[in-house]
Amino acid sequence: MRRLPLLLATLCVLALVTASLFIGGYDIDLRALFTDPEARRMFLISRVPRTLALVLAAAAMAVSGVIMQMLVQNRFVEPTTTGTSEWAALGVLLLTLLVPGASPLLKMGAASAFAFAGALVFLVVLGRIGLKSQVIVPIVGIMLGALVSAATLYIASSTNLLQMLATWRSGGFSSVVRGNYEPLWVVGAIVVGLYLLADRFTIAGLGRSTATSLGLPYRRIMFIGLIMVALAAGVTTVVVGFIPFLGLIVPNLVSMARGDDVRGNLPWVVLSSVALMIACDLVGRLIVFPLEIPATVVLGAFGAVVFVAMILRQRGKAHV
Amino acid sequence: MIEFTDIRKVYGDDTVLGPVSGRIPAGGVTSLVGPNGAGKSTLLTIIGRLAEPTSGTVTVDGLDVHRAKSQDVARTLSVLRQENHFTARVTVRELVSFGRFPHSRGRLTREDVTHVDDALDFLHLGDLQHRYLDQLSGGQRQRAYVAMVLAQDTRYVLLDEPLNNLDMKHSVRMMAQLRRAADELGKTVVLIVHDINFAAAYSDRIIALRDGRIAASDTVEAMMRAEVLTEVFDTPVRIHEVDGTRTAVYYR
Amino acid sequence: MSETHLPAPSPVETARDGKGAGAAAVAPVRRGLPPAARLAVAGGLAAVAVVCFLFLFIEGSFDFAFERRLTMLGTMLVVAFTQAVGTVVFQTITHNRILTPSIMGFDSVYILMQTLLVSVFGGGVLAATDGMPKLVTQTLLMVGFTMLLFGWLFSGRSGSLHVLLLVGVVLGLAFRSLSDFLQRMLSPAEYDVLSARLFGRLSSAEAAYLPLAGAVCLIVGAVVWQRRYRLDALLLGRDAATNLGISYKRELTVMLLLVSLLIAMSTALAGPMTFFGFVTAMLAHQMSGTHRHAVVLPMAFLIGLITLAGGQFIMEHVFYASGMLTVVIEFVGGAVFLVHLLRKGTL
């Protein structure tokens, strides 16, 4: 019986996936899929990749949020509130300048490497800050992000890449076609890794001394965790741009509803992120039809509202 | 006299304090004791108007501390919390000079300087006065904070666990200095003490809190009884006469 | 107070008491120039920088060049004042030495406003609407945004400053994402017009705004100066300040209002800047040798002025890149910020 809610949730997500597959500027229905080869081609080249990218990107951001929250022991961190995404953007920009026409795979490598460096810088800075309230940590992260993005903007403006940067930051899924989203599958491996390592991340988050006294190699676990975050953030940033707040609001909402059981929450986190992502994408596609607003922008607005509500709720609960 | 009436403090659905009512007469040393989470700090910070009560009023010498002008309250009552985080790097003397703010609003007169000197002398901080706070040991820093509160020259002085982080020697000194402040300077000292025997040795009155209520409140002699303390602390306590003072024994 | 004296502890005992014990540690720690002399030195340097900037290497018509430079100096004075005073006060009331007021989302509001204008009315609109009404409207909109935030957050019983900051930051991120989206819909030509406004700039400020900006600075400056001792006491934190008889919430609200007015005006006049304020405030705290705002505030202003006037002079005549000053300052400032954070890390 305990499985039933999860089953229902899965069905919901599948319904959303189906909706995403069959809604769009080019009319495709089930019958056309079997009779019209042109429609089938369209479907496979554009709709399927787009929907898969949505699913995978959502899972990636949710998972990297969860890992960061465990490692830092703070509810409010995720790649966009720790500057990690901004570092990924800087990496891509530099690569674009140094190696014009670099392959997407190379871009992802650069983005991931910079995201990793960024996450490291964030952790080092955090380790040196005395006062670590739940609220100060993300402020510091965002400040770091602002610093990196100032550098990015400066470089972009002096090389006339500013608008390309804006285009690419707000990303979206409309340009995803077969052949450029496949690296997102790496996210699958990360989800599995997280499921296996969840307990270790939690212990590592309690600090070096606790981890060591429990016999865990602290450095190695932190390293693995950061690699996972960097890969997820880097790949997602290159394929679909910044996805703000997703990795932050979904894990928090799930633990509000179900308590803090990381492993048990994981399926719910992934399912809800996917559902939210697809819903935002559908809203963005339908609201100004036939134009579209990128899902990332819809999510940014929605996520900000939910995030603020969460902060205020935390304040209401806090003593003193 | 400090008088508090129907004080309650509620966070969400939790009532952490009250309703409690009581009075603390002027003069002497009064200790607040009780188990963890009994509401001692909450009560002290509400009396010191650092926190607003959910309901109820506090008056000190007839002054409603939550409604009167903050500056007027600051000339009647001073309050020191356990933890103090400063962003600025200040010397001991500068810190103690801040105590004169309610009187001078920042521009020190000759009288203010005398008060600062006296407070530094009283806590034996003369040699340390030009040291920065972050160069001091925990005990020295604690003394500097207390000196600031004394320089404020208020009739009432409220202190939240002034013995926190102090070793045996410094705890004894601190309590002796607070006792002297009450006896020689006529202050009314109200403080939270963890160690019931310290409270008994240096106070005139003890107020015991438990579960957000006042469990007992009386003179030291009346409070230092086995049945009262056992009830308050929810742990078996025996009383022995040691060197003429009643001492609580509860270690095993 | 007390006439009786207990025997004071001997110096040896005191020294053993301390952490960094030793005979040297007992001696007074103060060294170097007194604060007034430090201010005088900074003032002298600022005067030199201003004179160099105004009078040296003028080519062609003296009157024309001088007038242009005088206007720019006016802008520098306003920017240095708003950013320096705004940041020092903001750091005092938020109890940290690394955050700058721009974190409250001023930049994002400003960028979103510019982007919206261009998106709706096209690229010509920015130049066409430049003028006093726009400057005032922009300033008021940004102040209004922060006021709305404060009013809403402080209406609760326990107004937490850090929560306020985080909410501001998050809304800033959301605005940013919206601006990004709008920007990608612009034609490249329109975008070029817009992007010129997205960086801090000193030269484009018009002389006509300066009297108003100067007047606002003077008024805010007077209010802050009058409250300088209260600012000192606010350094001790909420509880200690309340104990000293300061109405913490009221003081905080007044100060945040003033800060938002200063920074909003600076942003509307010269574009967004994040790290310039950080650098001036950090240097001012280090150079002043005291925590007292009576010294730190003027010191920060002077350092800001030295940086702008001296920097512009060097950029113009050494690097021949007169328009790049703010970008360079931001870049260097950002690097200093990161190094500072990694070395010190104290909040």
SS3 state at B225: coil
Specify the pLDDT at position C3.
Answer: 37
Angle (nearest 5°) at CA B66 between B62 and B68: 60
Strand partners, B33: B208
Return the domain boundaries, chain A: 2-311
Q: Which two tokens stand for residue C197?
A: 């406004």
Asked whether the predicted pLDDT for residue B23 surpasses 60, the reply is yes
Average per-residue pLDDT for chain C: 78
Chain C nearest-CA distance from B184, in A, is 7
Residue C304: pLDDT band with limits 50, 70, 90: very high
The residue among A131 and C347 whose pLDDT is bigger is A131
Share of chain A above pLDDT 90, in %: 0
Q: Which of residues 40-69 of B touch A (CB under 8 A)?
A: 51
Q: What is the pLDDT of residues C183-209, one digit of tens each?
A: 877 777 787 777 777 766 776 666 777
Specify the pLDDT at position A173.
Answer: 67
Poorest-confidence range of A17-31, C20-34, C127-141?
C20-34
Residue C230: pLDDT band with limits 50, 70, 90: very high
Specify the pLDDT at position A179.
Answer: 67
Report the pLDDT averaged over residues C306-310.
Answer: 91
Q: Which positions ≥6 away from C144 have C-beta within 8 Å?
A: none
Distances (CA, A) of C98 to A1, B36, B82, C223: 53, 36, 25, 24
Specify the pLDDT at position B155.
Answer: 92
The residue among B126 and A239 whose pLDDT is bigger is B126
> CB–CB of C140/C298 below 8 Å?
no
Between strands B156-159 and B77-80, the pairing is parallel
> CB–CB of B150/B70 below 8 Å?
no
The residue among C340 and B100 whose pLDDT is bigger is B100
Inter-residue long-range contacts of B37-43, CB under 8 Å, 24+ positions, other chains counted:
B38/B209, B38/B210, B38/B211, B38/B212, B39/B9, B39/B209, B39/B211, B39/B212, B39/B213, B40/B192, B40/B209, B41/B82, B41/B160, B41/B161, B41/B192, B42/B9, B42/B16, B42/B17, B43/B4, B43/B7, B43/B17, B43/B209
Contact with chain C for residue B49, Cβ under 8 A: yes
Q: What is the ipTM of this complex?
A: 0.82
**Interface mutation target, options B11, B15, B36, chain A, most CBs of A under 10 Å:** B11
Specify the pLDDT at position A24.
Answer: 65
Total tally of structural domains belonging to chain B: 1
The H-or-E segment that residue A58 falls in is helix A48-72
Contact with chain C for residue A76, Cβ under 8 A: yes
Report the pLDDT averaged over residues A182-211.
Answer: 81
Between strands B188-192 and B28-33, the pairing is parallel
Q: Which two tokens stand for residue A176?
A: 């995803």
Torsion angles phi and psi, residue B17, rounded to 5: -150, 135
| Superfamily designation of domain C42-53+61-344 | ABC transporter involved in vitamin B12 uptake, BtuC (1.10.3470.10)
| C35 cis-preceded (ω within 30 degrees of 0) | no
Specify the pLDDT at position C206.
Answer: 65
Q: Tell me the C-alpha distance between C30 and B92, whole Å.
A: 12
Q: Which two tokens stand for residue C306?
A: 């030295």
Amino acid at A173: F
SS3 state at B33: strand
Length of chain B (residues): 252
CB contact under 8 A, B16 and A319: yes
Share of chain C above pLDDT 90, in %: 17
SS3 state at B59: strand
Specify the pLDDT at position C116.
Answer: 85
Residue C333: pLDDT band with limits 50, 70, 90: confident
Between strands B14-24 and B188-192, the pairing is unpaired
Amino acid at C303: I
Specify the pLDDT at position C302.
Answer: 95
> CB–CB of B9/B46 below 8 Å?
yes
Q: Which positions ≥6 away from A121 have C-beta within 8 Å?
A: A83, A87, A144, C338, C342
Q: Tell me the C-alpha distance between C28 and C258, whole Å.
A: 37
Q: How far is CA A87 from the centre of its chain?
A: 14
Report the pLDDT averaged over residues A277-287.
Answer: 84
Asked whether the predicted pLDDT for residue C18 surpasses 60, the reply is no
CB contact under 8 A, C181 and A170: yes
- Please provide the DSSP assignment of C313-340 as one string: HHHHHTS--GGGHHHHHHHHHHHHHHHH
Poorest-confidence range of A60-69, A112-121, A170-179, A180-189?
A170-179
Distances (CA, A) of C310 to A9, C206, C233: 63, 21, 34
CATH number of A2-311: 1.10.3470.10
Q: What is the pLDDT of residues A197-217, one digit of tens each?
A: 888 888 887 777 778 888 788
Specify the pLDDT at position A315.
Answer: 60
Poorest-confidence range of A197-201, B18-22, C28-32, C101-105?
C28-32
Can you tell me which residue has the tokens 């960061």? A68
Cβ-based neighbour number of residue B86 at 10 Å: 15
Exposed/middle/buried for residue C337 (C-beta within 10 Å: 0-12, 13-18, 19+): buried
pTM given for the model: 0.79
Chain C nearest-CA distance from A35, in A, is 37
Asked whether the predicted pLDDT for residue A292 surpasses 80, the reply is no
Annotate B205-223 with b (16+ C-beta within 10 A) or e (fewer). bbbbbbebebbbbeebeeb
Q: Tell me the C-alpha distance between B96 and B123, whole Å.
A: 11
Contact with chain A for residue C167, Cβ under 8 A: yes
Contact with chain A for residue C188, Cβ under 8 A: yes
Specify the pLDDT at position B30.
Answer: 94
Q: Tell me the C-alpha distance between A235 and A57, whole Å.
A: 9
Q: Is the C-alpha dihedral spanning C197, C200, C206, C210 positive or negative?
A: positive
Report the pLDDT averaged over residues A60-75.
Answer: 84
Asked whether the predicted pLDDT for residue C1 surpasses 70, the reply is no
The residue among C240 and C6 whose pLDDT is bigger is C240
- Enter the DSSP assignment of A185: G
Residue C11: pLDDT band with limits 50, 70, 90: very low
Poorest-confidence range of B30-34, C19-23, C305-309?
C19-23
Asked whether the predicted pLDDT for residue A272 surpasses 60, the reply is yes
Asked whether the predicted pLDDT for residue B87 surpasses 80, the reply is no
Task: Determine the structural domain holding residue B73 and report its residue range.
Answer: 2-82+154-249
Asked whether the predicted pLDDT for residue C26 surpasses 50, the reply is no
Q: Which of residues 203-232 of B touch C (CB under 8 A)?
A: none
Residue B136 within any structural domain of the chain: no
Report the pLDDT averaged over residues A306-317.
Answer: 72
Report the pLDDT averaged over residues B170-190.
Answer: 90
Poorest-confidence range of A16-20, A64-68, B151-155?
A16-20
Can you tell me which residue has the tokens 């950002």? C334
Asked whether the predicted pLDDT for residue C112 surpasses 50, the reply is yes
Kindly identify which residue of chain B lies nearest to residue C9, measuring between CA atoms: B124
Chain B nearest-CA distance from C235, in A, is 6
Chain B residues closer than 8 Å to C347 by CB: 87
Q: Tell me the C-alpha distance between A43 and A49, whole Å.
A: 9
CB contact under 8 A, B105 and C232: no
Report the pLDDT averaged over residues C242-267.
Answer: 87
Q: Tell me the C-alpha distance between B159 and B25, whole Å.
A: 16
Poorest-confidence range of B19-28, B84-93, C87-96, C233-242?
B84-93
Domain CATH code at residue B35: 3.40.50.300
Poorest-confidence range of A7-11, B139-143, C127-131?
C127-131
Angle (nearest 5°) at CA A200 between A199 and A206: 95
Residue B244 within any structural domain of the chain: yes
Return the domain boundaries, chain C: 42-53+61-344
Q: Tell me the C-alpha distance between A10 and A14, whole Å.
A: 6
